[in-house]
Amino acid sequence: MSEVLRKENFLVVPGVFNAFTALLAKRVGFKAVYLSGGALTSSMGLPDIGLITLTELANAVRQIREVTDIPIIVDADTGFGEAVNVYRAVRLLEEAGANAIQIEDQVMPKRCGHLDGKEVIPTDDMVFKIRAAVKARRDALIVARTDSRAVLGMTDAVRRAKRYLEEGADVIFPEALTTKEEFTQFAREVRAPLLANMTEFGKTPLISASEFKEMGYKYVIFPVTIFRVAAKAMKDALQVLLERGTQAPLMESMMTRKEQYEVINYDFYERIDKELSK
């Protein structure tokens, strides 16, 4: 499955936060998914500041892998500690089903990459983490994210990216660039498979996937898009139930029972049950 991430010239990758959303993404036609830390933690009622454990993240990966073979890029934040912790994290996440593992160079406790107040660790400390990740992985890609643009500037972000590549990172993820010109400059100066983050309500303006492709990016993630759309839809539906006491006005907005069962492969389990009871 990692071969899909390596061989495809360009991939649009939606953020997912559980097994159902991963199944849905594959059914729609996506070739890979991104297990978003921001979406996953929000689905747990928590902020994305490094609160969840490695075990919780590995379980989320495992639940997705149980029901689908779609390649998964996993957001592992800062790697759950220092270099030796990164080594273990990569081992466990790959065993759970991760095909690419993303590590970032923020100081713990980390912040959303598009919020102010974040800090970055020294370049050498991140290098140690990348070395640990590369040593630990069997086949998974290692995605090195740098948050330095917002902290130390573009020149430092480019310098870090080049160093991370030298140390074995497979993909570079420049976080929170603020203009198309910055994305173009970064792609011109860092010759590597690049990942762009097209999140909403952040420091990056809305840029289309085709524009990122033209600039030279290999992957574009939309990490929290479907979570935010779903969250608003659920809030609106709850308001209707509270105020009207009926779901009648919501029927046209729903996925039908048939569609829901198709996504979760209900018929397969029903057939298995019949075969076993013969």
For 264-277, how does the pLDDT look when each residue is reduced to its tens digit (9 = 90+)?
999 999 999 899 98
Residue 62 lies in a domain: yes
CATH number of the domain enclosing 173: 3.20.20.60
Find the domain containing 95 and state its range: 2-230
pLDDT at position 108 is 87
Residue 21 lies in a domain: yes
Residue 248 lies in a domain: no
Contact 47, 41 (CB under 8 A): yes
Among candidates 49, 34, 48, 43, which has minimal Cα distance to 197? Answer: 34
For 122-179, how does the pLDDT look when each residue is reduced to its tens digit (9 = 90+)?
999 999 999 999 999 999 999 999 999 999 999 999 999 999 999 999 999 999 999 9
Q: How many CB atoms lie within 10 A of CB 225?
A: 16
pLDDT band at 231 (very low <50, low <70, confident <90, very high): very high
Among candidates 185, 37, 188, 207, which has minimal Cα distance to 196? Answer: 207
Residue 270 lies in a domain: no
Average pLDDT score over residue span 218-223: 98
pTM: 0.96
Residue 106 lies in a domain: yes
Residue 249 lies in a domain: no
* 71 prior amide bond cis, ω within 30: no
Contact 88, 136 (CB under 8 A): yes
Average pLDDT score over residue span 237-263: 97
The mean predicted confidence, pLDDT, of the chain is 96
